[in-house]
Amino acid sequence: MADEARWYVVHTYSGYENKVATNLEKIVENRKLQDWIHEISIPTETVTEIKDGQKKEVERKIFPGYVLVKMVMSDESWYVVRNTRGCTGFVGPNGKPTPLTEEEVAALGVEKRSIEINYAVGDTVNIVDGPLENFSGRVDEIDQEKNKVRVTVSMFGRETSVELELDQAELME
């Protein structure tokens, strides 16, 4: 059933996202619905705010009023999610649940995809995707957490540092 599970967007009362997620997790655990409802996520981002002259890291919801749920759609799972306190329904035409596409899930960064790389800092890589495709450069920094690599590319006689996705570069052979 795991391969049938898709991500759906659930609309909640504003400010109730965490409560809905917690309630839903408890219901799934109590009713043993782990086969139907796999994951519950509230997309957030860390933002640095400056208040009264002091920097402070704050976690902010990217989509206030929405919770993402990875589930196998059935009458029972739909009913459980729909009738969770604070939930107002699924996002879709006429309240009919519409699953997110693979591209939307990737863009939201909901599912962490681990990318195996065969290069390290100091290696020369070819850029295989994006506006700098077919350029080559030296790897300066790799950030597995953020799925980014910093590469120094020589363009028009100048060294330029660019940030790429990990899978946009591959080791030169």
Same domain membership, residue 56 and residue 15: yes
Q: Are 107 and 43 in contact (CB under 8 A)?
A: no
Same domain membership, residue 13 and residue 93: yes
How many domains would you assign to the chain?
Answer: 2
**Pairing mode, strands 37-41 and 124-127:** unpaired
Same domain membership, residue 88 and residue 7: yes
Would residue 118 count as lying in a domain?
Answer: no
Same domain membership, residue 65 and residue 135: no
Answer yes or no: is pLDDT of 23 > 60. Answer: yes
Q: Which residue has the higher pLDDT, 166 or 1?
A: 166
Closest CA to 127 of 104, 107, 146, 155: 155
Would residue 115 count as lying in a domain?
Answer: no
CATH number of residue 85's parent domain: 3.30.70.940
Q: What is the mean pLDDT of residues 53-80?
A: 87
Residue with tokens 């920097």: 55
Same domain membership, residue 130 and residue 66: no
Answer yes or no: is pLDDT of 34 > 70. Answer: yes
CB atoms within 10 A of CB 35: 13
State the alpha helices, DSSP H only, in 31-133: 75-82, 102-108
Same domain membership, residue 7 and residue 74: yes
CA distances, 8 to each of 22, 57, 80, 133 (Å): 17, 29, 14, 34
Look up the domain containing 31 and give its range. Answer: 2-108
C-alpha span between 88 and 71 (Å, rounded):
17
Residue range 71-106, pLDDT digits in tens: 999 888 889 999 999 999 899 888 788 988 888 887
CATH number of residue 140's parent domain: 2.30.30.30
Helix 17-30 to helix 75-82 angle (10° resolution) is 140
Same domain membership, residue 95 and residue 44: yes
Same domain membership, residue 78 and residue 9: yes
Would residue 116 count as lying in a domain?
Answer: no
Can you give the pLDDT at residue 114? 61
Answer yes or no: is pLDDT of 148 > 90. Answer: no
Would residue 66 count as lying in a domain?
Answer: yes
